Amino acid sequence: MTARGADDPAVDAFFAGRPASRALFDAVRACVEAIGPFELRTSTSQVAFRRRVGFAYAWVPGDYVRSDVPLVLTVGLRRRDPSPRWKQVVEPRPGRFTHHLELRAVAEVDDAVRTWLEEAWGAAG
């Protein structure tokens, strides 16, 4: 399913009562929509952006730990990106790097985030 312009009751339920988290998610989703087709898969823990495989994941850290961060964007890249903006970067398997970015304001979904999402989207096809 292509998520472009689609209303998604599962996404609505995931972000119910979390307007700041939803605004950040919508900004991330708009970035991905500008790149190309994708699917959304919503689980109890996250909303995944997918092509052939998942390439980015949005989740609310307060569901798991004490945190005032409204949204974490996890981006899968085939390289370790050196930006100091990443909260954490791990290599779960050789050549695959998981980058965690804490988002607190829509303005933080900027050109750098768009570039990372485009790179991840391209690798997921």
Query: What are 34-69's pLDDT values in tens digits?
Result: 999 999 999 999 999 999 999 999 999 998 899 999
For the stretch 90-113, pLDDT in tens is 999 999 999 999 999 999 999 999
* Residues 25, 59: Cα–Cα separation, whole Å: 9
* pLDDT surpassing 60 at residue 5: no
Helix axes 111-123, 19-35, angle to 10 degrees: 60
What is the predicted pLDDT for the residue at 4? Answer: 45
DSSP 8-state assignment for residue 62: G
What is the predicted pLDDT for the residue at 2? Answer: 46
On whether the CB atoms of residues 101 and 73 are closer than 8 A, the answer is yes
Who's near 45: CB < 8 A, 6+ residues apart? Answer: 59, 63
